[in-house]
């Protein structure tokens, strides 16, 4: 530490200034980088959660529409036909719309699913990850939503899960006991998806939205901002060095050169500085000292006896 202090004291002013400026910049970049990264990450996560929320609410709106308007029209026909009409079931509607949405390349990895432990349609069967969520909702009935990230073979995705609770008695007509369910339902799917009870949690409403692109944009924004800040720092450093050299260092160097010449007996040198700032006042003080020194030398010469 003592060696460093000794070396630092011997450095030129502009070198000392640049070292201090660089250290300050590095510390500032670390602090601002951590803060900026956190803000961008939170912003990206918020944007993803908004997309998931929008998809969830859209699918629930479709569910309610099918349940309130389509099902009443098709339900009477379920007992009159041999082939089941799946369009009468809200879960079927939301699944089909989700599949149509995923056919659009812009929404390829957006997905909605009613992940059930014992579904009527095998397409709604919960996988191992979704089964854990359903069981978590069953054990923690007060929990209304679970969110997080899931990485599968396709791409990292953000998920939002909500408990699917049996709240409508009409749902029990197709899911309580096989003997009261429409025969067309049994003929199409077999004796699956029964045993539901009112207020039971039987599935999890799952929404998946891609997250990689949003985080990629956040990382790119972070890099762009840091590059801009670094470029500004370099430009400001060069400008400050130019002004420091012109306004301070060159003037101090001129004063030092003049003082050195006077110390060697060159009394013709003078301190010339027209500025009224601190360095200008220093030059004026040195010039007065030079004039006083000339007067003192003249007095000494006058008092010395002539040979």
144 in a structural domain: yes
Tell me, what's the pLDDT at 306? 58
Contact between 290 and 268 under an 8 Å Cβ cutoff? The reply is no
176 in a structural domain: yes
CATH code assigned at 147: 3.30.450
Burial (Cβ within 10 Å: 0-12, 13-18, ≥19) of residue 207: buried
261 in a structural domain: yes
Of 210, 234, 251, which one is at a domain's C-terminal end?
210
24 in a structural domain: no
177 lies in the same domain as 84? yes
176 lies in the same domain as 242? no
**HEC profile for 207-248?**
EEEECHHHHHHHHHHHHHHHHHHHHHHHHHHHHHHHHHHHHH
Per-residue model confidence as pLDDT tens for the chain (307 residues): 666 666 766 677 778 888 888 888 889 888 988 999 999 989 998 999 999 999 999 999 998 898 888 888 887 776 666 678 888 888 889 999 999 998 898 888 899 999 999 998 899 999 999 999 999 999 998 999 999 998 876 678 899 999 999 988 878 878 888 888 888 888 888 888 888 889 999 999 999 998 888 888 898 999 999 899 889 888 988 888 888 888 777 888 888 888 888 777 777 777 777 777 777 788 788 878 877 877 877 777 777 665 5
44 lies in the same domain as 176? yes
234 lies in the same domain as 264? yes
Burial (Cβ within 10 Å: 0-12, 13-18, ≥19) of residue 167: exposed
Tell me, what's the pLDDT at 8? 63
Query: Which residues, other chains included, contact 101 with Cβ-Cβ below 8 Å and sequence gap of 6+?
Result: 107, 110
200 lies in the same domain as 226? no
26 in a structural domain: no
Across 44-190, where does the E strand assignment appear?
111-116, 146-151, 156-165
Of 156, 188, 210, which one is at a domain's C-terminal end?
210
Of 176, 210, 244, which one is at a domain's C-terminal end?
210
184 lies in the same domain as 231? no
108 in a structural domain: yes
70/56 Cα distance (integer angstroms)? 20
Q: How many residues does the chain have?
A: 307
245 lies in the same domain as 180? no
Tell me, what's the pLDDT at 112? 93
Number of domains comprising the chain: 2
Domain that holds residue 143: 32-210
59 lies in the same domain as 200? yes
188 lies in the same domain as 223? no
1 in a structural domain: no
297 lies in the same domain as 156? no
190/122 Cα distance (integer angstroms)? 11
2 in a structural domain: no
64 lies in the same domain as 151? yes
254 lies in the same domain as 229? yes
């Amino acid at each position: 530490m003592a060696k460093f202090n000794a070396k630092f004291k011997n450095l030129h002013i502009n070198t000392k200034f640049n070292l201090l400026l660089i250290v300050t910049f590095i510390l500032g970049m670390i602090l601002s980088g951590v803060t900026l990264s956190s803000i961008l990450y939170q912003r990206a996560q918020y944007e993803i959660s908004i997309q998931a929320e929008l998809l969830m609410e859209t699918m629930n709106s479709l569910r309610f529409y099918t349940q309130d308007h389509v099902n009443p029209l098709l339900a009477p026909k379920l007992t009159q036909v041999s082939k089941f009409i799946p369009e009468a079931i809200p879960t079927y509607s939301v699944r089909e719309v989700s599949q149509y949405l995923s056919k659009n390349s812009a929404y390829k990895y957006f997905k909605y699913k009613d992940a059930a432990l014992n579904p009527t349609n095998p397409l709604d069967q919960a996988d191992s990850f979704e089964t854990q969520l359903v069981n978590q909702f069953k054990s923690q009935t007060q929990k209304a939503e679970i969110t997080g990230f899931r990485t599968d073979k396709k791409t990292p995705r953000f998920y939002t899960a909500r408990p699917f609770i049996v709240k409508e008695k009409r749902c029990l007509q197709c899911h309580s006991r096989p003997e009261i369910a429409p025969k067309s339902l049994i003929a199409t799917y077999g004796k699956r998806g029964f045993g539901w009870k009112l207020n039971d949690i039987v599935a999890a409403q799952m929404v998946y939205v891609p997250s990689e692109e949003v985080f990629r944009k956040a990382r790119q924004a972070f890099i762009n901002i840091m590059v801009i800040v670094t470029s500004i720092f370099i430009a400001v450093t060069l400008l400050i060095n130019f002004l420091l050299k012109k306004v301070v260092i060159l003037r101090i160097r001129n004063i030092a050169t003049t003082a050195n010449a006077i110390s060697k007996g060159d009394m013709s040198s003078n301190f010339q500085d027209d500025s009224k700032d601190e360095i200008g006042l220093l030059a004026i003080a040195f010039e007065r000292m030079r004039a006083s020194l000339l007067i003192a030398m003249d007095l000494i010469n006058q008092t010395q006896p002539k040979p």
